[in-house]
Amino acid sequence: MKLPIYQVDSFASEPFEGNPAAVCPLNDWLPDGLMQQIAMENNLSETAFFVEQDEDYRLRWFTPTTEVDLCGHATLASAHVLFEHLNYDQLIIRFDSNSGELKVRKEEGRLVMNFPVAALNRTEVPDFLEEGVGVSAKELYRDTDYLYVIESEEQVRNLAPDIRAMAKADVRGIIVTAAADGHGYDFVSRFFAPNAGVDEDPVTGSAHTMLTPYWSRRLGKKKLVGRQVSQRGGTVYCHHKGDRVEISGEACTVMQGEMAI
């Protein structure tokens, strides 16, 4: 069996930036175990699979080790494949997912995703987490991920985390963030998810469902620009809309082919 596959750099205006994701359009679902093997073979932070259902699409995401309920950059990559390669001609793509309905539209050269906002439940900082991050937290919030707020952009950029200590966390991942020093950005972040098989994710769209409401409240503005300061780096445009958040960015295809299964 030949499986079409695309590799897309999300939150990137040119190749080798942003976050790479594999996208596999399917006519029918493959067995879960086989999709997990494909994701492991790709060895990217996420592989997305989608199947057309009625006028919409069912979308699922796999890291090299597990299926996850929400992934921003692979949703962006899937929409890019539909718009740019599969001749999708409607204004809005609707994805059915384990996190509910997700919508993606084109706007001003970007792809705009509409996601449910995450909760901000303030909590105490566990000792192992401070050990893992290596910098004291000003604030810590918890939902699917931890949101670990520190003092400065310089600290975020210079983190040398203890990934083994971070792996003690019983959440998907740890978002570390601080206010930006300028340069057109409102905040910076990095994202670590060793329990999902991703020590550091280059650019994490879904993390901005926590980052956006936090920084919107703290900075008193609805529209924000975030920069994920991983080695690859990427820019995420955010709009806080009550119980939803719009997350947008660019994407580019870097590889297209077939996988022999």
Give me the active site residues, please.
46
Give the whole-angstrom CA distance, residue 245 versus residue 117. 6
What the block records as the tokens of 92 is 């809005």
State the Cα–Cα distance between residues 146 and 65, nearest whole angstrom.
20
Q: Are strands 92-97 and 67-68 parallel, antiparallel or unpaired?
A: unpaired
Contact between 49 and 63 (Cβ < 8 Å): no
Helix segments in 104-207, DSSP class H: 127-133, 153-157, 163-166
d(C-alpha 110, C-alpha 249), whole Å: 5
